[in-house]
Chain A
Amino acid sequence: GENVEQHPSTLSVQEGDSAVIKCTYSDSASNYFPWYKQELGKRPQLIIDIRSNVGEKKDQRIAVTLNKTAKHFSLHITETQPEDSAVYFCAANRDNAGNMLTFGGGTRLMVKP
């Protein structure tokens, strides 16, 4: 089955700096890789996703890169703000029908003002 590893587990940055979170996956058949942001006690919210037919996707301050050969993908947040503080989860789909996801262990991002 799919195994998703996420690093680091905690990340502290100064406001305005960039933050990078990395994930690796094991199933070469995976083709959908979403990132979720979860604030304390709230639901995970999809912030960006990427499919295996592209190597990079950007949405304002957030970007995701995918290296299919190495089976890893990364979330990049630029110009971090205190409201970016949350737990971020990466995920990969388990089968190329796409619906089931395996989540990484999460990264607690703290942006210090």
Chain B
Amino acid sequence: GAVVSQHPSWVICKSGTSVKIECRSLDFQATTMFWYRQFPKQSLMLMATSNEGSKATYEQGVEKDKFLINHASLTLSTLTVTSAHPEDSSFYICSASGQGAGEQYFGPGTRLTVT
């Protein structure tokens, strides 16, 4: 149980284009989904928290107009990196949390490379 999928697993895009990443909880209803980015050899940095049907809460320093998050259902959240630039290249990982307090289950991550 507690399986989270993420798509695509990797993407290469040109500078200035937008990229959408999907995160799905496959066997449970995720009341909350989280989006992290991880640079090489660094820890997980929370970007935003999203609850189904409501606006995402962004961490300080994360541009909400650049990183658009939609949590349309209890099993799907999307992150759109708009007007991507090379400095946005990173490993983006989502996680999902159900009703239980604390447990987060991670997706496999999406490696974004902006050329």
Taking Cβ atoms with an 8 Å cutoff, the residues of A that contact B are 32, 34, 36, 41-46, 49, 51, 89, 93, 97-106, 108
Selected A-B contacts with CB under 8 Å, 7 pairs: A32-B101, A42-B109, A43-B106, A46-B103, A102-B46, A105-B42, A106-B42
Which residues of B sit under 8 angstroms from A105, Cβ to Cβ?
42-43
Range, interface on chain B: 20 to 34
Q: Is the CB of A43 within 8 A of B109?
A: yes
Nearest residue, chain A, Cβ from B100 = A98
Contacts A34-B102, A42-B108, A49-B102 given; does A99 touch B97 at CB 8 Å: yes
Contacts A100-B34, A105-B43 given; does A43 touch B93 at CB 8 Å: yes
Cβ of B75 under 8 Å from chain A? no
- Contacts beyond the supplied A42-B108, A49-B103, A99-B32: 20 A-B pairs with Cβ under 8 Å: A32-B101, A32-B102, A34-B102, A41-B91, A41-B111, A43-B107, A44-B106, A45-B106, A46-B103, A46-B104, A46-B105, A51-B102, A98-B101, A99-B31, A99-B101, A103-B43, A103-B44, A104-B43, A106-B43, A108-B41
CA distance A42 to B97 in the complex (A): 19
CA distance A51 to B103 in the complex (A): 11
CA distance A42 to B108 in the complex (A): 6
Residue in B31, B41, B44, B101 whose CB lies within 8 Å of A44? B44
